[in-house]
Chains A and B, each alone.
Chain A
Amino acid sequence: MKDILNNLDKAFENKVRLGIMSVLMVNDKIDFISLKELLGVTDGNLASHLKNLEKKQYISFEKDFVDRKPNTTYKATDTGKQAFKAHINAIENLLK
C-alpha cells in the first residue's frame, strides 16, 4: 500500500494541475486563454499552477504574438507525460 502511495505524484493532487495535464495529454499545445476557458479558473490561479508545473519541468511554454497581442502556448514535456502516466497507473492500482 505504501509503495503505491509513493507513486502518486504530488504535482497532480491539485484539480487544476490535473486538468492542465489532462488537456495537454490529448492536445499538442494549447494557449493560455483556451486553457482558462476549459478549466474555468481565474488568470492568477491558472498562472500559478502553470508555474508550478513548469518548475517541475512537466510543461514547457512558448511566447509569440498573434495579431500583435502576446500569446503563450503550453506543451507537455516528455518528463511530464511520463509522470502523468505513472500517476494514472498509481491511481488504477489503488482502485483495484
Chain B
Amino acid sequence: MNQEKYLQDIKEIREMMDRSSRFISLSGISGVVAGIIALVSAFVAYQYIYIESDYYTFRAVSLTSDSFWNILVLAVSTLILALGAVLLLTHRTSKKKGQKLWNKQAKRLVASLAIPLFTGGLVCIILIVNGYIGVIAPLTLIFYGLALVNASNYTLDDIRSLGIAEIVLGLTGLYFIGFGLLFWAIGFGLLHIIYGIRMHLKYGS
C-alpha cells in the first residue's frame, strides 16, 4: 500500500541528486540551431579555401592573406552566433525547469569545458601562425570532443557520447587530411543537429 509513496521517494532522491550535481537545462533545440549555423559557415568557408586542383585527389587547402582574414571573420562570427544561440535557448529552458542559468552546476560545467577548449584554441593559433592550416579543422574537433567528455560528468549523459563521436571524427579527419572541412561540417553541423533533436525529444527544451 505504501509502495507508491516509496517509488515517489526514490524518484525524488534521484532528481535531487541530478539537480544538485548536474546542469540539466541544456536545450536540445540550441544544438540544432548551432549545427545549422556551423553548416552554413562551413559552406561559406568552402568557397574561400579550397582550390579546384584535381578531380581524383583531395583538394588542396590554400590561404592567401586576403582569404585568411575572411576566414578569421567567418570563424569569429560563427562562434559568437552559435554561442549566443546556445546561451539564449538554454536560458529559456532553464527558466522552464526552474534551474538558474548561472548556478553552481553551470559554473562547474563551464570550467570543465574551458580548460581543454582554451588549450585547443591556443594550439590552433600557434599552428596557424606557423602555416599549418590543414590540421586546424580536425584539431578543433578533437579538442572540442575532449572538452565535452571532460564536462559530461556535470551535465546530461548524452554529452559524453557526443564528445567521443567528435574525437573519432577529428582523428579520422586528421588522417584524411584533405577532407578536414567535410569532417568539420559533419562534427559541428550534423552531429549537433542529431544530438540536439535526440536531447529535445528525451528531455524537452
Q: A-side interface residues toward B, CB under 8 Å?
A: 12, 15, 18-19, 22-23, 25-27, 30, 34, 37-40, 88, 91, 94-95
- Please state if A23 and B17 are interface contacts (CB–CB under 8 Å): yes
Are A27 and B6 CB-contacts (below 8 A) given A22-B12, A37-B100, A88-B13? no
What's the minimum C-beta distance from A30 to chain B, rounded to whole angstroms? 7
Complex interface: chain A residues within 8 A of B6 (CB): 91, 94-95
Which positions 1-58 of chain B face chain A at CB distance < 8 Å? 2-3, 6-7, 9-10, 12-14, 16-17, 19-21
Task: Kindly report which residue of chain A lies nearest to residue B18, judged by CB atoms.
Answer: A26
Complex interface: chain A residues within 8 A of B13 (CB): 18, 22, 88
Q: Is B97 an interface residue (CB 8 A)?
A: no
Q: Is B96 an interface residue (CB 8 A)?
A: no
- Please state if A94 and B2 are interface contacts (CB–CB under 8 Å): yes
CB within 8 A of A94: which of B3, B17, B100? B3
Complex interface: chain A residues within 8 A of B17 (CB): 22-23, 25-26
The 5 closest A-B pairs by CB, nearest first: A22-B16, A23-B20, A22-B13, A26-B21, A26-B17
Separation of A8 and B74 alpha carbons in the complex (Å):
61
Q: Is B104 an interface residue (CB 8 A)?
A: yes
Task: Kindly report which residue of chain B lies nearest to residue A91, judged by CB atoms.
Answer: B6
Complex interface: chain A residues within 8 A of B16 (CB): 18-19, 22-23, 38-39
Per DSSP, chain A at the interface is helix
Separation of A62 and B13 alpha carbons in the complex (Å):
24
What's the minimum C-beta distance from B19 to chain A, rounded to whole angstroms? 6
Complex interface: chain B residues within 8 A of A27 (CB): 20-21
Task: Kindly report which residue of chain A lies nearest to residue B100, judged by CB atoms.
Answer: A37
Task: Kindly report which residue of chain B lies nearest to residue A20, judged by CB atoms.
Answer: B16
Are A38 and B12 CB-contacts (below 8 A) given A91-B6, A94-B2, A95-B7? no
Complex interface: chain B residues within 8 A of A12 (CB): 9
What's the minimum C-beta distance from A82 to chain B, rounded to whole angstroms? 16
What's the minimum C-beta distance from A40 to chain B, rounded to whole angstroms? 8
What's the minimum C-beta distance from A59 to chain B, rounded to whole angstroms? 14
Separation of A23 and B21 alpha carbons in the complex (Å):
8
Separation of A37 and B101 alpha carbons in the complex (Å):
13
